[in-house]
């Protein structure tokens, strides 16, 4: 535990009262200039630092904003934190960071710590285990503002900053269709997560827009076990040897799927086109480079931080609203070129 010089220690050495030293350090006019100089001289010699936490807490504030993310190892969330820090460094707020490692128990513990330390506000992306939101209700009960980003609790009446996962996924699937793919499978994430579900709906509606019937056997829910992708692709290739497209809910899983396809003797994109989501670094490290959806994490972090600071400064109320970012497709080597249809149909 750190040992810090306190007002009490300065008062003891100068044989002054605690209140006199406190007022002297604050340049109170009732304290003589001589006493103020004496107190400040000793404070400098001892290396005294004002306890800003105690000062803010005395006013009902901590000047701390908590950030809770599912995984720090994911590039998306590290970039989101960069965006948050970019905004907060221009303010008096400090950042208290938690990583839940996708465990709801860790998320609940983080909320309890936030309440214990009287944080002023919370920015959060929920874990994939989160089904119940009572712990977030506890924050609202104590009037602690919350802003969700990326992975959100849709039914809580607070601001949410999200990517337009539905439209981006619709566009990604539509691109596969427009390059000639007719049998497109989808690997999706946890059914608990809004973004995974929205990406699934975008895929389904894109198929419907081309009058392609949905085949449930072409949709695979990838929760925790990557090896399930091996089994899914092997089984699917047997049932649908004509499979020529694959849309995957994130780039890490897309990279894994491409490796599985290679082991199965399938060429990407000659035999099957693959498109991912979020433009993680792996998208450009892998061979062939992955077609994917634009990374919007930094902007998402900035918007979430701007929103909560505005609420804390009473510039706006905390309302149930959704701030939507529209990402673009990034086309690389795992998808074919668009099929150009002339007016004559040739």
pLDDT tens digits along 215-261 = 999 999 987 788 999 999 999 999 999 999 999 999 999 999 999 99
pLDDT of residue 58 exceeding 70: no
Fold match flag (64-162+297-326 vs 165-295): yes
For residues 325 and 299, the answer to whether their CB atoms sit within 8 Å is yes
The b-or-e profile of 74-91 (16+ CB within 10 A means b, else e) is bbbbebbbebbeebbeee
Per-chain mean pLDDT for the chain: 91
Nearest to residue 318, comparing CAs of 140, 154, 133, 163? 140
Span 291-305, average pLDDT = 97
102's torsion region: left (phi>0), alpha (psi -120 to 50) or beta?
left
**Domain range annotation of the chain:** 7-50, 64-162+297-326, 165-295
| pLDDT reported for residue 287 | 94
Q: What percent of the chain stands above pLDDT 70? A: 94
Q: Across residues 6-34, what is the average pLDDT? A: 89
The answer to whether 252 and 282 are in contact (CB under 8 A) is yes
- Phi, then psi, of 297 in degrees rounded to 5: -65, -45
pLDDT confidence tier of residue 69, bands split at 50, 70 and 90 = very high
Q: What is the pLDDT of residue 342?
A: 46
Instruction: Please state the pTM of the whole predicted model.
Output: 0.80
Could you tell me the end-to-end alpha-carbon distance of the chain, in angstroms, rounded to an integer? 77
How far is it, in rounded angstroms, from Cα 327 to Cα 94? 29
pLDDT of residue 22: 85
Give the CATH architecture of domain 165-295: 3-Layer(aba) Sandwich (3.40)
Query: Average pLDDT, stretch 264-284?
Result: 96
340 or 331, higher pLDDT: 331
Residue 260 token pair = 């599985």
Say whether pLDDT at 149 is over 70: yes
pLDDT tier at 29, thresholds 50, 70, 90: confident
Is the bond leading into 39 cis (omega within 30 degrees of zero)?
A: no
pLDDT in tens, 115-132: 988 899 999 999 999 999
Read off the pLDDT of residues 159-180 as tens digits, 9 standing for 90 and up: 999 999 999 999 999 999 999 9
Looking at residue 324, what is its pLDDT? 97
The residue with greater pLDDT, 8 or 178, is: 178
Superfamily holding 64-162+297-326: Response regulator (3.40.50.2300)
Which residues are 67's β-sheet partners? 97, 123
At 316, give phi and psi (nearest 5°).
Answer: -155, 155
Q: At what angle do helices 227-239 and 251-263 cross, to 10 degrees?
A: 60
Q: Is the pLDDT of residue 157 over 90?
A: yes
């Amino acid at each position: 535990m750190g040992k810090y010089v306190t007002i009490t220690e300065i008062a003891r050495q100068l044989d002054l009262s605690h209140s006199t030293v406190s007022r002297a350090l604050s340049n109170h006019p009732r304290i003589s200039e001589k006493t103020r100089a004496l107190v400040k001289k000793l404070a400098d010699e001892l290396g005294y630092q004002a306890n800003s936490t105690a000062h803010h807490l005395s006013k009902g504030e901590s000047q701390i904003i908590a950030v809770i993310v599912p995984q720090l190892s994911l590039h998306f969330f590290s970039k989101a934190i960069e965006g948050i820090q970019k905004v907060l460094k221009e303010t008096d707020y400090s950042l208290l960071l938690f990583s839940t490692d996708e465990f709801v128990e860790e998320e609940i513990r983080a909320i309890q710590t936030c309440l214990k330390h009287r944080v002023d506000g919370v920015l959060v992306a929920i874990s994939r285990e989160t089904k119940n939101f009572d712990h977030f209700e506890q924050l609202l009960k104590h009037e602690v503002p919350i802003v969700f980003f990326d992975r959100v609790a849709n039914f809580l009446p607070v601001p949410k900053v999200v990517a337009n996962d539905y439209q981006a996924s619709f566009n990604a699937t539509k691109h596969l269709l427009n390059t000639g793919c007719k049998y497109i499978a989808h690997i999706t994430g946890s059914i608990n997560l809004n973004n995974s579900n929205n990406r699934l709906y975008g895929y389904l509606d894109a198929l419907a827009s081309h009058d392609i019937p949905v085949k449930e056997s072409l949709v695979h829910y990838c929760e925790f076990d990557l090896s399930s992708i091996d089994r899914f692709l092997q089984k699917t290739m047997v049932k649908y040897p004509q499979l020529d497209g694959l849309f995957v809910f994130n780039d890490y899983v897309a990279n894994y799927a491409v490796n599985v396809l290679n082991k199965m003797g399938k060429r990407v994109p000659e035999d099957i086109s693959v498109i991912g989501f979020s433009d993680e670094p792996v998208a450009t490290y892998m061979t062939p480079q992955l077609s994917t959806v634009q990374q919007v994490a930094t902007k998402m972090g900035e918007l979430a931080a701007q929103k909560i600071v505005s609420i804390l400064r009473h510039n706006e109320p905390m309302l149930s609203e959704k701030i939507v970012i529209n990402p673009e497709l990034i086309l690389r080597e795992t998808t074919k070129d668009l099929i150009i249809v002339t007016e004559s149909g040739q």
